[in-house]
Amino acid sequence: MIVRISSVIVPQARLQPYLENVQSVEIPVYQAADGMVSVWLLVRTTVGYAELRTVSLWQTEAELERFLQKQLSPSPGYAEGVITLEVRNYDLHFYGPGEHH
């Protein structure tokens, strides 16, 4: 399995509309993708900014690559003031639920 982690930094003033767009547009695209096991959206706020991190788990690298080829582009103005950080992919070597899940 493959874990993909992508992050953006969003000005605090734009956080709510950006977050709503991610939850209503981007997350459903992830959820509908072939080979996607799960997706998490993490938010960490600091003074003036927020970091949104999307962590997704994929069955295979080939399925992830197919998803990336047809991924949606942000609408005009959507990414204004947003800083995109380096995306990282990891091979998953262990996955399991906790005892009290």
Q: Model confidence over 30-61: pLDDT tens digits? A: 999 999 999 999 999 999 999 999 999 999 99
CATH number of the CATH domain containing 18: 3.30.70.100
Is the pLDDT assigned to residue 4 strictly greater than 80? Answer: yes
Higher pLDDT, 73 or 80: 80
Domain count, the chain: 1
Please report which confidence band the pLDDT of residue 79 belongs to, taking 50, 70 and 90 as the band edges: low
Which domain does 77 fall in, by range?
2-91
Kindly report the pTM of this predicted structure: 0.85
Mean pLDDT, residues 61-86 taken together: 79
Question: What stretches of 1-101 adopt beta strand conformation (E)?
Answer: 2-11, 36-45, 49-58, 83-84, 88-91
Q: Is residue 17 part of a domain?
A: yes
